[in-house]
Structures are given as structure tokens and as C-alpha cells.
Amino acid sequence: MTVSPQLRTQAYINGKWVDAQSGKTFVVTNPATGERIADVPDLSEEEVLGAVKAAEDAFPVWSATSPKHRQDTLMKFFNLMLERTEELSRLITLENGKPLADATGEHKYSASFMEWFASEAVRTYGDVIPSTIPGLRNLVIKQPIGVVGIITPWNFPSAMITRKIGPALAAGCTCVIKAPSDTPLSAMALMEIAEQAGIPAGVLNLVTSRNSRMVAKVLCEHPVIKKVSFTGSTGVGKQLMQQSSSTLKKLSMELGGNAPFIVFDDADVDEAVKGALIAKFRSSGQTCVCANRLFIQDKVYDEFTTKLTAAVEKFVVGNGLDAGVTHGPLIHDRAVAKVVEHVEDAVSKGAKVTVGGKAGKGNFYEPTVLVDVPISALVSKDETFGPLAPCYRFSTEEEVMKLANDTEFGLAGYFYSRDIGRVWRVAEAMETGMVCANSGVLSQATIPFGGIKESGFGKEGSKYGMDDYQITKLVLMGGLGTRY
């Protein structure tokens, strides 16, 4: 696949498209074919520091623009994204591998964050609080937190960036974004759109480097950066928290999951199968909210697993740009190796493969269903991040809630039941930041996305999504005189 002439392949600092001064680059490949798509700059620490300086210098001007101006700019950004839907969706498929229909879904999801936060820009209300001390007035105002460091993953090359720059820009913050090394091209396209939307130089800066640790260290330790927003693994999140402690930075952490997906006896089994196809196999299982453990109650176990197997057999695995392909490759060989490990471990402990179970050529792994999985299997504790649906059997609600919550993670959880009492009980008992009752779909710009436990903290999207990019300041007023 040749690179289109207008494809951006450079970093974007202070309104300029730049290569590394050293001339060093690293390669971006298509995970479906292994072909080289582009060479992108391998920036040095000095160059990353230059991006921080640009964001620092741009902050006074951008933060002083009116909320209405920021709203209009974000709406321009949104409209420009939609005008380029076809091209930018193909770019997502090219660098990430997800099928074009999924990539188009991601592109629109990505744009929707700009639209949502355009509206939030003008709603950053403060408060007036009655004073307990006579003669005083207590006002609360919201202000942009300052320069924000943003680190995003490869599984949503576009949407994880807009989910963070949307609220940052709306609040009046400036940003240094670390593009994912596997998928930096969608991030570059977003910077081009930012330029066209009239976002001034220095407000958004995009850095690329093979040395992710170096960039993360700069963003976490630099005193100018007031907040870091990270989406990625729990292990890396913990390291970033440690690094950020030297400057007590405000953090948002959207980390790993181990989502339970529970099907109770009273569920609509066909709906539960449909939900599992999305919750488990979306992006070939490579999302933080993907179901990782499927618990099915005795009475419906055989029906559910048979129907799930039949549905998975219909998947068409291949290059996401080819017509009819429903599931693409995994991002790289390490991701495939993890699925292999989880399947082999479960099978060695007694699980049976009903569909899939084999690695293909390159980065492909067949979408797989395992039945009779014992709770001792590795996959019960460890997020696969791949197309593997391990099905466990359970008898009672109490038993399954213990199993579902027996994990240090708490991002998303799913369950199917038509008993309204059970719906409330389970929703309240499930230890996750997001609970889906009778749905396998959850992602929207309007919801507070985020986890609890070791899945992190902070909410992205929704009316709560602005909070992390603002400070809440008290302005107390005295000396106001007496009433007439």
C-alpha cells in the first residue's frame, strides 16, 4: 500500500511540521501485511522539551480566549473531521488493522468528542455558596489547569486523542501529545485538522519517539505540565504515577480491565450472544472494556455457548481493507503470543476449544471460544486483549458476583437478566466504574468513561469529563459594606 501524498508523517511542534534534528526515524507498519507505511521522527529529549515550551508559551493566549470562541473552534474541528471520514477511517485501518466498518465507527466516535466538548466549553459554570461568616461572599470559579501531557494507546489511534484534547481545548488548556508509536499517523492527521480549524501554534503539540519512556518521564516530571492524562496498561500507569509524584500532578488514568460478562438463567440468550459478539470481539478483543471472562448460568450454558460458537464461526478474518472482513489482525506478534499462552494454559487445565484456537499467518489469531474453562486458568486473572472468549459455568447469583469481583481491575462489567430486582442488585454489587445491563455496547461521548480499583481514576467524556482539565477556585469576597 503506497502512502497518499497528503499523508502527514512528521511531528507537530509550535505550529510547525518537523523531523528529528538528528534525522532519526522509526517505521510504522501495517499489522495486516507487515508492510512499511511510513517513517516518522524519532525525537530527542531536547525536542520534546521544545514542545513543552511551546505549549507553555501558548497557554496565556489560548486560556484567555472566550469559551464561545473555543466552542466555535471545536465545532470547526468536528466538521472538518466529518468531511474526511472516508480517508481518515482508512488511515485507522491501515495503521491499526481494525476492519473499515470498525474504523469508521472509531472515526465518528472520535469526532463526537469534539462536538460534545464544544458544547461543554460554554457550560463551565461556577457557584455561589452562602457564607457562614457574616459579611462574606463565597464564589467558586473554574479555570483551565494549564499545560496537559497526553499519552494514548494504539487500539484507538484517533478517539483516545480527541477524548482528551476535546475537554483540554474546551477548558482553555494547551497540550503536548505523545502519539502511540505503533499508530502515530491518525494523530498527525488530527494535528492537520487542528491547523485548518484555526487552533493557534503551540496549543496542540504532537511528539513521536521510539523512546516512549523518555517522553513519559518528561511529561510526568516537568513542572510546567500540570496534568497528565494516560490511557494504557495498569503497569505503565503505576510507573507514571510514581514519576508524577515529584510535582504532585493531577492525573487521569484509564487503565487495564478484566471485564466480567454474566448471562443469568432468565436472560434473553439471543440478545446475550449478540452482546457478547460486540463486548468480546470488537477490535478483535483489543479494547480495555472488552469482556475477558464470560460467566454463564447452568440452565442456559449449553444454549449460549452453542449459539456463540455458531456466530463466531461466521466471522471473516483478514485485512481490514478487504470487503466483507469482520475481524482484523492483532497489533503485533507479542499480542498474538499472549492469546496463544492463554489458550494453551486453559486447554492444559481442561478447557475445550469450540471454534478457533489457532494462530494464523503474521499477526492473525482465529476468534476463539473456550468452554468448561476452570477458574484456575491464567485468563481468569490476566486480560487477554485478544479474540478469546473463555466461558465459565456458575450456579448462583451470589457465587458469580464473588467470581466477577475477584480481580484487582474494575473498568467495565456486563450482565444479562430480565429480572428487575436482579438488575439492580447486580448493577450495585458489580465492582466496576461502568456496568452494562443487557447491552454489549457502551462507548459514547456522553457517558462518564472510567474505572475504579486498579483500572484507574478520572472520568472521560460526559459532563464530568471537563473536571479533570480545570481547577476549582474559591474567590472569597469581604469588605462589601452593609445592606441598606
Does the footprint of ligand SIN cover residue 156 (CB under 6 A)? yes
Does the footprint of ligand SIN cover residue 288 (CB under 6 A)? yes
Pairing of strands 259-263, 291-297: parallel
The 8-class DSSP code of residue 4 comes to: P
Closest by Cα among 436, 329, 435 to 387: 329
- Nearest residue (beta carbon) to ligand SIN: 443
- Long-range contacts of the stretch 33-37 (C-beta < 8 A, 24+): 33/1, 33/319, 33/362, 34/362, 34/363, 35/1, 37/1, 37/3, 37/94, 37/95, 37/185
- Whole-angstrom Cα distance, residue 423 to residue 435? 10
Nearer to ligand SIN, 357 or 451 (CB): 451
Does the footprint of ligand SIN cover residue 183 (CB under 6 A)? no
Does the footprint of ligand SIN cover residue 30 (CB under 6 A)? no
Interface mask toward ligand SIN for 247-266; x: CB under 6 A:
-------x------------
Sole binder of ligand SIN in the list 169, 194, 289, 370 (CB under 6 A): 289
Query: Catalytic site residue 254?
Result: yes
Residue type for position 146: G
Neighbouring residues of 246: CB distance < 8 A, sequence distance ≥ 6? 221
Nearer to ligand SIN, 288 or 355 (CB): 288
Question: Least distance (Å) from ligand SIN to the CB of residue 268?
Answer: 23
Does the footprint of ligand SIN cover residue 231 (CB under 6 A)? yes
- CA angle, residues 434, 457, 377, in degrees to nearest 5: 65
- CA angle, residues 272, 458, 232, in degrees to nearest 5: 70
Nearer to ligand SIN, 156 or 281 (CB): 156
Sole binder of ligand SIN in the list 9, 89, 155, 244 (CB under 6 A): 155
Nearer to ligand SIN, 177 or 203 (CB): 177
Does the footprint of ligand SIN cover residue 380 (CB under 6 A)? no
Segment contacting ligand SIN by CB under 6 A, of 121-129, 258-266, 283-291, 388-396: 283-291
Nearer to ligand SIN, 219 or 288 (CB): 288
Segment contacting ligand SIN by CB under 6 A, of 49-57, 281-289, 327-335, 426-434: 281-289
Please, where are the H alpha helices in 155-203?
Answer: 159-171, 185-196
253 by DSSP, 3-state: which? strand
Nearer to ligand SIN, 10 or 158 (CB): 158
Number of residues lying near ligand SIN (CB under 6 A):
9
What's the length of the chain?
A: 484
Does the footprint of ligand SIN cover residue 335 (CB under 6 A)? no
On whether the CB atoms of residues 111 and 159 are closer than 8 A, the answer is: no
Q: What is the rounded radius of gyration, in angstroms, for the C-alpha atoms of the chain? A: 24
Nearer to ligand SIN, 281 or 449 (CB): 449
Please report the DSSP string for 381-407 in residue order.
Answer: TS---SSEEEEEEE--HHHHHHHHH-S
75 by DSSP, 3-state: which? helix
> What would the 3-class secondary structure string for 363-387 be?
CCECCEEEECCCCCCHHHCCCCCCC
Instruction: Return the residues of window 340-369 that contact ligand SIN according to CB under 6 A.
Output: none
Neighbouring residues of 399: CB distance < 8 A, sequence distance ≥ 6? none
Nearer to ligand SIN, 157 or 202 (CB): 157
Question: Least distance (Å) from ligand SIN to the CB of residue 278?
Answer: 10
Segment contacting ligand SIN by CB under 6 A, of 208-216, 262-270, 287-295, 400-408: 287-295
Neighbouring residues of 215: CB distance < 8 A, sequence distance ≥ 6? 43, 48, 151, 178, 207, 209
* CA diameter of the chain: 85
Question: Least distance (Å) from ligand SIN to the CB of residue 435?
Answer: 15
Segment contacting ligand SIN by CB under 6 A, of 36-44, 47-55, 285-293, 451-459: 285-293
Does the footprint of ligand SIN cover residue 154 (CB under 6 A)? no
Question: Least distance (Å) from ligand SIN to the CB of residue 399?
Answer: 29
Please, where are the H alpha helices in 222-377?
Answer: 234-244, 269-281, 298-313, 333-348
Interface mask toward ligand SIN for 414-443; x: CB under 6 A:
-----------------------------x
Segment contacting ligand SIN by CB under 6 A, of 52-60, 190-198, 284-292, 339-347: 284-292
Catalytic residue among 95, 254, 431, 454: 254
Q: Which residues bind to ligand SIN, rule: CB under 6 A?
A: 155-156, 231, 254, 287-289, 443, 449
Annotated catalytic sites, by residue? 254
